[in-house]
Chain A
Amino acid sequence: MARTAEVDDTASLRARHWWVPYALLAPGALWLIVFFVVPLFSMSRLSLEDGGLANYANVISDNSTVIVRTFVYAGLATIIALAIGYPLAYVIALKGGRFKTLLLALVVVPFFVTYLVRTLAWRILLLEDGPVVGAARTLGILGDDQAIVGSPFAVVLALAYNFLPFMVLPIYVSLEKIDVRLLDAASDLYSTPWRAFRKITLLLSLPGVFAGTLLTFIPAAGDFVNAELLGSERTVMIGNVIEANFGKEFFRPELSALSFMLMAIILVGVIVYARLLGTEELV
């Protein structure tokens, strides 16, 4: 078939087959348009039904505490994940040596255990008679009449836990790319290790920190599993409101408004954050 064409000029070959990339893209793009883009419109339309923009005002005033709490929890979880994840990624990437692959594999092991079951395991760990409560009581951090499960602490900790690999992996990748000779050079030029870390390592790993914090913050802000399994009515998040009220057949426009608002806040936040950190390297 191709032989009959007798074409040795690749440019004209490209021109003749201009439709090939579109044909390759079509099925996947169609799927995404119909089942991702269109639903966003159908959700925004539903959110304005009987009431219009007043739905948004209602939803915000009814759920103001929940909305603030959601972003505070997601933010705290992201900070905890960064505090644990950055040093871990640093050790694996720069000090790991021949254990690098093994250490990295240990970080992703949780991916092979269903999310829900992982969170249930935290319930085991944090419940009464569990090891953490016992240790905390012995150390006097926790009173005899206090519990961990049901507290904001448990929810934030589990959120940080569940998305920690998403923090570690991008940071690891950006640290791995760093040319070690830069650090040698800094040391040769009498830089202290701390200064070299700040001026070289930290700066070059910022794209990883950017990706990692987003990949932790976004799913944490939309989560309802952790707050349900480890929290109480004091720890309700936006996701829980949606989960508790979505009907199998019917739902109120307010729920669409709440969901749309969650998306809008996150998108705006991502754009502002990208400007602040000066990187577009999300993927």
Chain B
Amino acid sequence: MTAVVDRPEAVPAAGPEGPDEPGGPRPSAPPSRQWANKLGGFALWAWAIAGLIFILAPILVTILFSFNNPVGRYNYTWNEFSLDAWTDPFRYPDLADALSLSLRVAAVVTVISTVLGTLMGLALVKYRFRAKGIVGGILILPLTMPEVVLGFSLLTLFVTVNWTRGFVTIIIAQVMFSISYVAVTVRARIRGFDWRLEEAAADLGAGPWRTFVRITLPIIAPGVVAAALLTFALSLDDFIITYLNSGLSETFPINVWITKRSRIPPQINVFTTTLLLVSILIAVAVLYWSHRQGRKLAAPGGRSND
């Protein structure tokens, strides 16, 4: 994921050699080879579609089984269609409480990590300074370690200083691994921007605050929003690090994990499906918004009149 966001600045499509000319006269292959190519292309598509089915099958199963009326306490085998779980989503109070804790944790973690990570991303893109290499290294290192190591080592710290685990330690743990994602995402999205605009604003008499609100913020906004969404999703999703540092607190995944031997109710699927739909809606809305924002900034003589 990290590799995705961190792209160098777009290379201009047409080089100095002149206009791009795709196609053009091409020697045509002999018919037998054309046949082989077609077959190869077909096989490639078939393989890719099989891969997509592999990716989506468990998701569809998760949604489908929110409509199951399971026999017994485990929602593992299809029995019959039912809306029971949807009409009674809060049947297990501990599960609902756990979901509510997950959402609260995600909100707090998103705010803290987005602020801290964005500041780091800004510093790394806009300034040259001596410790840059070290800071970059410390940012990347958490991403190259398995969660169980990150979580367990943090737990040894909390145990050493005798710090009771709970809401606060969950926040600490999740912010720890989210900062890197935010900094890397923000850095990738604002790289290559012309920061002289800020100096121009200052030259024209804008104070530091005004410059920040009118120039810096609109530039970094799409990257920051993307990073915030990523953090929220990571926080909701995280299990291993959170579990090791949660003490007696239960987030949604932790509740599912520790009750899995006594029950797997379809309410789990109801909550998951709802979160999935909400996430997709938000993601689409944000994509649309940042696309527009990008156009506004890129417009010739780009004047955002607001």
Nearest-neighbour CB distance to chain B for A253, whole angstroms, equals 10
Given contacts A36-B141, A39-B157, A259 and B45 within 8 Å (CB-CB)? no
B239 surroundings in chain A (CB, below 8 A): 114-116, 225
Is A25 in contact with B120, judged by CB distance below 8 angstroms? Answer: yes
User: Which of B1-9, B83-91, B220-228, B298-306 binds A?
Assistant: B1-9
A233 to chain B, nearest CB (A): 15
How far is A192 from B4 in the complex, measured between Cα atoms in Å? 30
Give bound CA distance, A266 to B145, whole Å. Answer: 8
Residue of A whose beta carbon sits closest to that of B141: A36
In the complex, B296 has a CB within 8 A of chain A:
no
B62 with A118: CB separation less than 8 A: yes
With an 8 A cutoff between CB atoms, is A109 at the interface? Answer: yes
Q: B35 within 8 Å of A by Cβ?
A: no
Q: Determine the distance from Cα of A112 to Cα of B62 in the docked complex, in whole angstroms.
A: 12
In the complex, which residues of chain B have a beta carbon less than 8 angstroms from the beta carbon of A43? 152-153, 156-157
- Which one of A56-64, A121-129, A137-145 is at the interface? A121-129
- The reply to whether B55 and A121 contact each other, CB–CB distance below 8 Å, is no
- Asked if B82 lies at the interface with its beta carbon under 8 angstroms from chain A, I say no
| A188-B145 in contact given A42-B160, A107-B55, A161-B54 (Cβ < 8 Å) | no
The reply on B67 being an interface residue by CB < 8 A is no
28 pairs of residues in contact across A and B, judged by CB atoms under 8 Å: A1-B207, A22-B131, A24-B127, A28-B120, A31-B176, A32-B138, A33-B138, A39-B156, A87-B48, A91-B45, A113-B59, A114-B272, A116-B239, A117-B62, A120-B256, A122-B58, A164-B54, A177-B11, A187-B26, A211-B2, A218-B144, A219-B147, A221-B146, A224-B148, A229-B260, A239-B240, A283-B3, A283-B140
- Having A39-B155, A170-B4, one finds 18 other A-B pairs with CB under 8 Å, namely A22-B123, A24-B120, A25-B123, A32-B138, A46-B160, A95-B41, A109-B55, A109-B276, A110-B59, A112-B276, A114-B275, A117-B253, A123-B76, A124-B77, A224-B240, A246-B244, A256-B156, A283-B143
Please list the 4 inter-chain residue pairs (A to B) with the smallest Cβ-Cβ separation, ordered nearest first: A222-B146, A121-B58, A170-B3, A211-B3
**A residues with CB within 8 A of B:** 1-3, 8, 10, 18, 20-22, 24-25, 27-29, 31-33, 35-40, 42-43, 46, 84-85, 87-88, 90-92, 95, 103, 106-107, 109-118, 120-125, 127, 129-130, 161, 164-166, 169-170, 172-173, 177, 179-181, 184, 187-188, 190, 192-193, 207-208, 211-212, 214-215, 218-219, 221-225, 229, 238-239, 242-243, 246, 248-251, 255-256, 259-260, 262-263, 266-267, 270, 281-283
